[in-house]
Amino acid sequence: MSFPDRPPPTPPVASEESLRSQASPAVAVLRELRALQGTGDEILEALGPRARVLQLEPGQFLLRRGEPNSCIYVVISGRLRVELDGGSSLLAQLGRGETVGELSLLTGSITTATVAAEERTQLLVLDEETFWWMVSSSHEFCVGLLVRSAERMRSNTDAVQANIALRRHFEQAALSDALTGLHNRRWLDQMLPRIVQRHLHSSEPLCVAIMDIDHFKRINDGFGHPAGDAVLTRVAQLVRDNLRPTDFAARMGGEEFALIFCQTARPGAVRAAERLREAIAGAPFDYQGRGLPQVTVSLGVAALERTSDPGQLLARADEVLYRAKEAGRNRTLWAGSDAVSLP
């Protein structure tokens, strides 16, 4: 019997037990393997002297990602684990009758995944010469190979799409506030510079407001932090309901929120802020069926200037918010104004 020019990568060295039983399986066994179904008995009988059997113990590697491969392996018994790298990313589990190694053999490229035995596994090893002999000798073997390759591609595509969806989910979670569902401070730090730069480049107006819930500590102290969380969640919902689709909102932390009014000059931003303030002041708040004190907010609005950067824009809005708090809360104040909007 012939052996492939290059043995499987270390550590999948066949045990002494397997070395004593290297003879190819009987035709009856080969006939039952999915990879060889439909192949005539005459070809299967001729395959015996050309192929060999390799036995792997649990944990032994068959293929390592990034290494060359010149064989196709058919699982006779046991199970293989296919993973991207080091056991962290499971791609597939291969059982009786399934094949591995055909892609790197066909393309003459290095292996793109690592393959190891999950349990004691017997493999039929077809070297490159034997593989191409099978291709030229059996139409059924070729058809089966095409079908399995298509199934493998579909499975890999599904896995890639699932990984993309999972990555997007984690990316979204990393930029969202877990309690309110609004954007978080990390999102604000990443996106505000881009938004500012875009508006400066297009010479379009942009305004930012910082909003703070008035006397929020009294709610936490008097009714408990879960009630405070309920207030934050309700305020966030009112923010979503009252901002325009082109506006953005982010929870900066605690009871403080940032509002971004894109393509909006100061008068429009002040009207939008006032609309939100009035909606919150007129909304009922409760926790577990128990009414809470009326919730109000204060807002400071600042407009983008040609010489300002995102940090300066937020700082000016925060300064105006402080003035609104000093003026009595539950009101909107804008940079450069001498008066405040009274409730």
Domain with CATH 3.30.70.270 in the chain: 185-334
Domain with CATH 2.60.120.10 in the chain: 16-168
Could you please report the per-residue DSSP string of 42-98? HHHHHHHHH-EEEEE-TT-EEE-TTSB--EEEEEEES-EEEESSTTSSEEEEE-TT-
pLDDT of residue 3: 37
Gyration radius from the chain CA atoms: 34
Q: Which helix (H) or strand (E) holds 115?
A: strand 114-117
pLDDT truncated to tens, each residue of the chain (343 aa)? 343 444 444 444 444 334 334 556 667 777 777 777 778 778 878 887 788 888 999 989 998 888 888 888 988 899 998 887 655 567 788 888 888 888 788 777 788 888 899 999 999 888 888 888 878 887 777 776 777 766 666 665 655 566 566 566 666 667 889 899 999 999 999 999 999 999 999 999 999 999 999 999 999 999 999 999 999 999 999 999 999 989 999 999 999 999 999 999 999 999 999 999 999 999 999 999 889 999 999 999 999 998 889 999 999 999 999 999 999 999 999 987 654 444 4
| Fold of domain 185-334 | Alpha-Beta Plaits (3.30.70)
| Fold of domain 16-168 | Jelly Rolls (2.60.120)
pLDDT of residue 38: 74
- Give the active site residues: 255
- The secondary structure of residue 251, as a DSSP letter, is E
